[in-house]
A and B are shown apart, each in its own frame.
Chain A
Amino acid sequence: MYSELEQTYSGKNNENMLTAFFGWWFSDLPKKIYFIGTSYIKKLLRFFSLGVLAKTLFSPWKRDIINTRGMPLQERLQVWIMNLISRLIGFIIRLVTILVGLIFIAIVFTAFVLFLLIMLLMPLFIILVLILSLYG
């Protein structure tokens, strides 16, 4: 993962400091923030199991269903309702988890976009902070 990140740097140690600085500011920095941001979102996707939950959204909760084969009709109906409840519980829990996960991802995404903007527009950001601190 580190080496993957380091591949985003293109600077060499014999270049002019000014060139190096602008090269880093407008090329490496956005790449780095993009890489960290997408990695962190991948981590959240994995943490909330969003892929698995979406694929198994309507599956019974913990496979908690009973096979109705060979049962009389009335019992079969009861079991069928129980199985439906199991699926419903599974659906609700999964949906809630997916929503919570998505909210987290949205927050993280926004934070990274803001952070990217701050880092890219650092001189403007400093002026803005000072103005708002004095007159806001």
Chain B
Amino acid sequence: MAKFVFNILRSNAYRQSRRVDFYQKSFTVKILKFFGNYVFLISLIIWLLIVIAGLFFNINFYPLIKLLLGILVVIGGLSLWFLWFWHDRLVKAKPSLTINQAKDIITQGQSLNLAECLDPENGAQLMARSYLMAQRGGFNILDPIFIFLALSDTEIGRYLFIRMGLDPKSIIDMKIKPILSDIPKGDTTNIQLSDEMNGILEESLNISLSVTELEGKETINAGDIIVAAFKKSKFFEDLLVDFELKAEDVANIVNWYYLQERFVVKNPFWDPSTVISGIGDEWAFGYANVLSRFAIDWTRQIASVINQIHNYGSSVAISEMERILARGEKNNVLLVGEPGIGKQPAVNGLIAKIIRRQTLPELLYKKVYKIDIGALLSGTGQQGEVEARITAILNEALYAGNVILFMEDIDNIFSSEEATGAVNASSIILPYLRESGLQIIGTTTPASYHKNIEANPGIADVFEKIDMKEPSKDVVISVLEDAIPRVEYHNQVIFLYPTLKEAISVAERYIYDKPFPAKAIDLVNEVATEVRKERGANAIVIKSDIDKVISQKSNMPVGQVEESEKEKLLKLEDFLHQRVIDQDEAIKVIADAMRRARSGLTTGKRPIGTFLFLGPTGVGKTETARALAESYFGSEKNMIRLDMSEYQEQQSVYNLIGAPSSAGQEGTQGQLTKAVKDNPFSLILLDELEKAHPDILNLFLQVFDDGRLTDGTGKTINFTNTIIIATSNAGSELIKEEIEKGAISNEVLKEKLLNLLQTKGIFKPEFLNRFDAVVAFHPLSKEQLHQIIKLMVAELNKTLSEKEVKVELTDEAIEKLIQIGFDPVFGARPLRRALQDKVENLVAQYLLQGTLQKGQKLIIKGEDIK
């Protein structure tokens, strides 16, 4: 352990912190500021004029006025003099001991007062408050809980508690008061540090040292102490557990606080960077009259919001753009990325750098105009008018000499399709782009790039392509931290930090139609609006609000398992048995898998469940899948059913996953990949899987392992929110034979089945091993068929309930139906047709004849089934 003492009340840092406090709050200082800043300047000018008038022009004013003004000048001057000294030497003085000096002293084995390294503006204030709280309470030991108590009085502490969703009063009542009695009381003139407090101070020194080179930091601030407390104190660690956070999250909240604090600091009047554009900057460049009609001066737009522009995650793309735009040839940029990945923010970041004059000299006076496609196309009646406007814009931009045109979805004007509204301006634009005078920044999506730009080498050659990658989660957190204050201000709600993390986590798992950061930003906006609508202004947005919105969007249960859902999950077997008779093992395996998925035991990197149902036709395999789709995804409609016998040829892979695009031709979408892309929360039923081509089975190996599949167009389709059920009749004979032989355990039957499938080469072992469970469905007995008919009749009665009539079958009638409907090959499947022919037709006839009327019950006996 490092050797140091900690005596906050006798430290210079504490004395300075009191001076800072006085400087910020004292009325005397306010009076001095008034005299020093305003009275001095005004009285000095008037006094000088009077003195000059008297000395040189013999114009004399009342001597008393001159004397009064002179006194005001003296008071003002002295005020300014004193204020500046106070501010520079007493308030903003350097620490008497920097953290690097402290490190050296500790390394040499000497002792020091670590309190000297504290930042007077917040670090020393926080620790002094903690110390004084312990002293006032008569405690002899400085424990970390006093930091918690002191935090409630500080701005950073209040910010931290709000973002954590923590109510300090309840923590004090429930957690602190019970343990205060364990802290020894005694001599308060010599309060000792607890072991944990020693650890916190040492850790806060280490934390501040870790960023000293990067940020030029010299002191330990309150943020460092807070993060260290959450790392080294049991009390603070327990809070992390209670609020489902990590120490890194606390560090993020602290950084968030400092980030917001930095943005509210105003630039001083003498700061040259406050001049966005000089009055003569534009005079050396041409007019922009046409551009101002059909384009937006994007530089001016960004200048008005420049403080809100931060280049999180796009600094690499911005540097690349600067390099390309500054060079002599091929100096047009094409940003390629999915919508929402941050193409426009990257352009905004570039413009902000130009405005702040932090860019390359070649770009210093450049102005970016964003083409307004609406204005460009509106009011164009005559043929060729759009082309004429484009030509005028290009001429003006070229002539101006400092214009960069920004075109979003630039592929639209290079479209080779002859659709309504589509314009092919490539022949107009290309000659301009080949000259180095005109520069364009275009954006497009990867698919449009392949289709409209790559296919035309002439266009592709004049642009330098920059691929925009999806940002990492850390970057997305920064982007959200930046965006959330605006969302909060707009909707008058408050986001907790765990909510922010939940937004990123669920957006990653459940939103696939757009990339980060757009999907996270859109989600928080949507949730904020929803919360404001439901709970009014100043409502706090919590994790379950995010889960609720995502559940509504995906129609899938997300987040904490609620009581009603818990009940449903625990009784899933009963729910499935309402539709599926017998097949206990299959039902149990499926129910177990669903419970695992909803309890958060799955990794989220594979499908929710993958099952292979084996057994003869008509034993309930499809019905089980339907029942599961209804129970888990809310409706049978969320079942994607594919008859795998249609995919027997090798070429049929393309029907399943789509065909790749070739030059100028868009790829075709696959039946499976398109269905999953459109509805990622679904049950996929692969009927008669054994009939599919082996190449297709290999495709599913990847789906089962990674939960994703790349389609023919190169897009990755996510399968992690699907349940995949494959059915097969292979081995049905074996099942029948074994059942007929007598009682056989499920495990033995399954073993024999798997052996058969492998030895006959129907499925490879590695394929079978990928399934979460291989389930054997037994042939149905007569008793079970009896129950199935009862289920079918119940279903029929549900339909008839609108007409307020009911049907009942006697046991004799059911027996007769079984004799007619049961088929050893097709199982229970023909039963439905038998019910239609023999029962439903009869009911229809009676209804039409009027024999069966409202409120009546039709009892069908054995003799009625003919």
Contact = CB atoms under 8 A, between A and B. Distances in A.
Contacts of A21: 85, 89
Contacts of B286: 62-64
Contacts of A59: 284
Contacts of A1: 267-268, 271, 273
Q: By CB atoms of chain A within 10 A, which of B77, B92, B267, B272 has the most?
A: B272
Contacts of B279: 47-49, 97
A40 B280 contact: no
Contacts of A42: 272
29 contacts: A1-B271, A10-B94, A11-B88, A12-B96, A13-B12, A13-B90, A14-B12, A20-B89, A21-B89, A24-B84, A24-B85, A24-B88, A29-B88, A39-B271, A43-B272, A43-B275, A47-B278, A49-B279, A49-B283, A52-B284, A56-B283, A59-B284, A62-B283, A63-B401, A93-B283, A126-B78, A129-B70, A129-B74, A130-B70
Interface of A: 1-3, 6, 9-14, 20-21, 23-25, 28-29, 32, 36-37, 39-40, 42-43, 45-49, 52-53, 55-56, 59, 61-64, 90, 93-94, 97, 118-119, 122, 125-126, 129-130, 132-134, 136
Contacts of A93: 283
B81 A12 contact: no
B81 A14 contact: no
Interface string B158-190: 000000000000000000000000000000000
B280 A94 contact: yes
B863 to A, nearest CB: 100
Contact of B280 (A11, A52, A64, A133): A52
Interface of B: 12-13, 15-16, 47, 51, 54-55, 63, 66-67, 69-71, 73-74, 77-78, 80-81, 84-85, 88-90, 92-96, 120, 216, 265, 267-275, 278-287, 365, 399-401
A108 B85 CA distance: 23
Contact of B283 (A14, A20, A94, A126): A94
Contacts of A48: 278-280
A62 B84 contact: no
B275 to A, nearest CB: 4
A98 to B, nearest CB: 9
Given A49-B278, A125-B77, A126-B78, A63 B399 contact: yes
Contacts of B84: 24, 29, 32, 119
Contacts of B13: 13
B77 A11 contact: no
Contact of B270 (A10, A25, A39, A49): A39
A67 to B, nearest CB: 11
Contacts of B272: 39, 42-43, 45-46
Given A9-B88, A14-B96, A43-B274, A49 B74 contact: no
B270 to A, nearest CB: 4
Contacts of A133: 47, 51, 66-67, 69-71
Contacts of B54: 136
Contacts of A61: 283
A59 B74 CA distance: 51
A66 to B, nearest CB: 11
Contacts of B120: 13
Given A9-B88, A20-B89, A126 B96 contact: no
Contact of A132 (B70, B90, B92, B96): B70
B67 A134 contact: yes
Contacts of B51: 132-133, 136
Contact of A63 (B12, B80, B216, B400): B400
Contacts of A97: 279-280
Nearest to B64: A133
Given A12-B94, A43-B271, A52 B77 contact: no
User: Nearest 10 pairs between A and B by C-beta?
Assistant: A133-B70, A49-B278, A49-B280, A14-B96, A56-B284, A63-B286, A13-B93, A40-B270, A43-B272, A42-B272
A61 B282 CA distance: 10
Given A48-B280, A56-B283, A136-B51, A28 B88 contact: yes
A132 B49 CA distance: 12
A40 to B, nearest CB: 4
A130 B285 CA distance: 55
Contacts of B274: 43
B610 to A, nearest CB: 58
A55 to B, nearest CB: 8
A63 B282 CA distance: 10
Contact of A13 (B95, B285, B287): B95
A46 B216 CA distance: 29
